[in-house]
């Protein structure tokens, strides 16, 4: 049989950030990985799970960038194959059209510049698949317009072949195959790389809830030099930025920005409902940081979004990171924990989304 299909739901594609590869053994144990079938580029792993029902309960989940049931695998060499796009699109239609995905999203396994050939191939395959799926696609065809709670067909291609499955963007970990979103920061206006983290967090949080309305007032803790502040201001938000250190010169005097150069602990508790969102990227002790977030969340409107960077530099093992994370969640009461993710632009840290009230 030319198409090696017939993968069961025991087969999954998971993506582990490079920074966590030293913990791969712990992750696989917690996830109940029975067998590593194949290592693919960019931290993607084809694994077989003992009990996929437990995947979404696992402490390991927050270390994964992407998790997709692998329902169709076609190990082949697309570059050498005549008519790959046509064959692949017909097979996808045959296998998945009757399940009416809301979108067909195709991406290269290797999204780096080296994977350029496959990015072009992915775009051609997506174009052809969209024509073939036209009769079943409901609503949003654009990648970023997917409903986070409806099933999409995600397809990965690379020199190793084609790998596809259906999941909601929320369950899989994003709107793009592999969970990758390339963030274009605005050239000379870049204040710090942390800005990309903020953009990615605002993108990914929509898997769980809407972003705050334009004009909302953010309280930002640990804001200097101001990469995130810049991104918030560019989106039409007001910001009160607190940091002991100075903000970048380009931000000073911005009409929607109030700068408080001080220790966060000295910032007085705000009046109720004063802010509509809170961002904390303070470095140092994450438990001290979450205590400040909880104290200052008294000034948040009910339902406000809180984005918290969990800094894990001091934790050298998988168990230590999990223990710190769980303690931060425990101490975050009365905030409501929505999700913990490891962003492409996170290093030895994770991003936690909470809601106030
Ligand atoms: C990773 S940097 C923040 C980067 C920033 N989010 C950006 O986008 O450019 C962490 C910041 O937290 C600040 N910080 C840490 N603890 C603090 C505290 N207790 N009070 C005030 N600032 C603090 C540091 O001064 C530092 O500027």
- Measured in Å, residue 346 CA sits from the centre of ligand 1 at 15
Of residues 6 and 116, more confidence is placed in: 116
pLDDT band at residue 36 using 50, 70 and 90 as cut-offs: very high
Instruction: State pLDDT tens for residues 73-119.
Output: 999 999 999 999 999 999 999 999 999 999 999 999 988 878 899 99
Best CATH choice for the domain 11-179 from the list 3.30.70, 3.30.2130, 3.10.620, 3.40.630? 3.30.2130
Domain 187-355 class in CATH = alpha beta
pLDDT band at residue 188 using 50, 70 and 90 as cut-offs: low
Domain chopping of the chain, boundaries: 11-179, 187-355
Q: Report in angstroms the alpha-carbon separations of 96 from 14, 130, 158, 223.
A: 20, 12, 20, 46
Residue 232 · residue 291 · CB < 8 Å: no
227, 283, 308, best to mutate for ligand 1 pocket (most atoms within 8 Å of CB): 283
Q: What 3-state class would DSSP assign to 297?
A: helix
DSSP lists the bridge partners of residue 106 as 155
Give the span between the Cα atoms of 278 and 351, in whole angstroms.
13
Give the span between the Cα atoms of 131 and 137, in whole angstroms.
10
Instruction: State pLDDT tens for residues 52-69.
Output: 988 888 999 999 999 999
201, 218, 220, 222, best to mutate for ligand 1 pocket (most atoms within 8 Å of CB): 222
């Amino acid at each position: 049989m030319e198409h090696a299909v017939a993968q069961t739901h025991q087969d999954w594609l998971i993506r582990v950030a490079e920074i966590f590869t030293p913990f791969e053994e712990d992750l696989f144990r917690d996830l109940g990985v029975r067998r590593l079938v194949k290592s693919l580029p960019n931290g993607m792993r084809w694994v077989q799970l003992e009990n996929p029902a437990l995947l979404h309960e696992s402490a390991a989940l927050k270390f994964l960038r992407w998790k997709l049931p692998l329902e169709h695998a076609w190990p082949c060499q697309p570059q050498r194959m005549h008519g790959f796009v046509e064959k692949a699109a017909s097979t996808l239609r045959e296998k998945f059209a009757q399940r009416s995905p809301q979108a067909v999203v195709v991406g290269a396994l290797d999204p780096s510049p080296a994977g350029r050939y496959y990015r072009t191939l992915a775009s051609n395959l997506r174009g052809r698949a969209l024509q073939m799926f036209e009769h079943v696609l409901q609503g949003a065809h654009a990648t970023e317009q997917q409903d986070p709670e409806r099933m999409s067909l995600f397809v990965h291609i690379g020199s190793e072949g084609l790998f596809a499955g259906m999941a909601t963007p929320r369950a899989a970990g994003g709107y793009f195959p592999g969970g990758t979103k390339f963030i274009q920061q605005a050239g000379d206006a870049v204040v710090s790389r942390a800005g990309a983290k903020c953009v990615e967090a605002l993108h990914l949080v929509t898997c769980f809830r809407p972003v705050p309305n334009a004009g909302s007032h953010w309280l930002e803790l640990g804001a200097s030099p101001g990469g995130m502040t810049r991104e918030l201001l560019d989106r039409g938000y007001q910001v009160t930025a607190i940091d002991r250190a100075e903000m970048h010169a380009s931000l000073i005097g911005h009409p929607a920005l109030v700068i408080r150069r001080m220790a966060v602990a000295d910032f007085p508790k705000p009046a109720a409902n004063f802010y509509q969102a809170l961002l904390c990227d303070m470095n140092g002790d994450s438990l001290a940081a979450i205590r400040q977030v909880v104290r200052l969340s008294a000034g948040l409107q009910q339902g406000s979004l809180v984005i918290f960077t969990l800094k894990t530099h001091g934790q050298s093992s998988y168990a230590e990171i999990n223990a710190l994370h769980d303690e931060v969640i425990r101490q975050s009461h009365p905030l409501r924990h929505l999700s913990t993710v490891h962003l492409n632009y996170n290093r030895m840290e994770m991003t936690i989304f909470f809601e106030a009230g």
